[in-house]
Structure 1
Amino acid sequence: MVAWMIQVLGDWGLPGIFFLMVLENVFPPIPSEVIMALAGFNVAQGRLTFVGVVAAGILGTLVGNAAWYEVARAIGVERVRPLIDRYGKWFAISPEDFRQAEHVLGKYGPFAICFGRLLPGIRTLISVPAGLIRMPRLAFYGWTALGTGVWLSFLTGAGMVLEDHYDKIDKWVEPLGYVVIVLFVGGYVAHLVRVWLRSRKTS
């Protein structure tokens, strides 16, 4: 896959970065860490500019996230809530939990969107609940652009510093993804335990 991305960047330049970042946000297994590190390597070699690379990456991210956000916005939380009421127990999600999540995302949504752009695995998925609660488009796209700009600037700069050792960036960032996954799974298991204990008390 890396060889293919190198070819796309070499043949297309900035449009190639835009294209790859759209794919990365529609199909998350494509790593933005490698895409932007490769782009940073091209900046260091004088083939591209830092501002152009980051701008293309931000634009691709916005377009890719728009697919998730706009579909979720069209569905709306009103259609999802009955499914939670009926099937939520199988996923340890009670109607009360869902309403609380709505409240938290509605209140702290912009910060969550911005910060979520820095977390592997979270940065794309967070667009779905934002769309479901119909977060204002200006807030969603604005905070997405801000968080993405910080993250992609860091990755591009790292690629410039490491140059042809850009492959090390993915290996350095990967453990962060595992930490996030472990925290998520641990939180989910803890939630299951709380639901089980709560059901025992009520019974």
Structure 2
Amino acid sequence: MQPLIDWIVHLMEVLGAPGVGIAILLENLFPPIPSEVVLPLAGFTVSQGSLNAASVFVWSLLGSVGGAYVLYGLGAWLGADRLRRIAYKMWLVRESDVDNSLEFFRKYGKVSVLVGRLIPGIRSLISIPAGLDRMNVVTFGLWTLIGSAIWNAILITLGFYMGENWHVVEEYINTYSHVVYLILALVIVGFLAFFIRREVKERAGTGGTTK
């Protein structure tokens, strides 16, 4: 982690607030760069008078929204039809599962994007289903902006007030992340159990192999 911190510090020293934006842009595209390190560190730097709080916040939002649009574009490029073809070739998964997922996203997409921006591990990936569903780009950008503003403001503020102990923020976020990952793992296991049970019932009903 120290080499990453050193790189972020160097980026902020050379570029100032835009360096924070670049780091957050990369964080969206490469999750190993965690915002829970970048933003509290930026907040601490603001407390030292080296950076302006408003500039750091604005540039962090530009990085967040910019990275989100890149992943939105990836989802739009992948497209529902291509995803259905992939699902058709996968064991247990049906093309109808793709349609059901997209239908769910159409109903709850705005809330999903907003809440997703507040969940580590999900905050970047939530942009991909938004692209798959071709959510209105302005609507997507607005909800991404709101969610990112909440997340970024909290971490920058915590870093500012924690001072030299800014790294403690990462420890608390990691605990939060572990709880989220456990819930996600349970959800995945639940879906897997549902798919297996469906497959077994279909095979029993048809007496042969089904897709």
Q: Deviations over 1:154-200 (max 9, x none)?
A: 00100011011111111110011111211111111122222222333
Structure possessing the higher relative contact order (Cα contacts under 8 Å, 6 or more residues apart):
1
* Separation in 2, partners of 1:197, 1:68: 33
Taking the TM superposition and a 5 Å limit, the aligned residue runs for 1:70-109 are: 70-87=73-90, 89=91, 92-109=92-109
Counterpart CA distance in 1 for 2:51 and 2:5 is 19
Structure 2 residue 116 is the aligned partner of structure 1 residue 113: no
Q: 1:122 maps to which residue?
A: 122
Q: CA RMSD in A?
A: 1.4
Alpha-carbon distance, 1:74 to partner: 2.6
Deviation at 1:132, TM superposition (A): 0.9
Residue number in structure 2 paired with 1:27: 30
The two structures have a TM-score, normalised by structure 2, of 0.89
1:11 to 7, 10, 14: 14
Amino acid at match of 1:53: V
Instruction: State TM-score, norm by structure 1.
Output: 0.93
- Could you tell me how far apart the structure 1 residues matched to 2:18 and 2:61 are? 12
> Sequence identity of aligned pairs in percent?
32
- CA distance in 2 between counterparts of 1:130 and 1:161 reads 35
Unaligned ranges ≥5, structure 2? 205-211
Over 3 Å off, 4+ runs: none
What residue ranges of structure 1 are gaps of 5+ in the alignment?
none
- Distance (Å, rounded) in 1 between the aligned partners of 2:93 and 2:177: 24
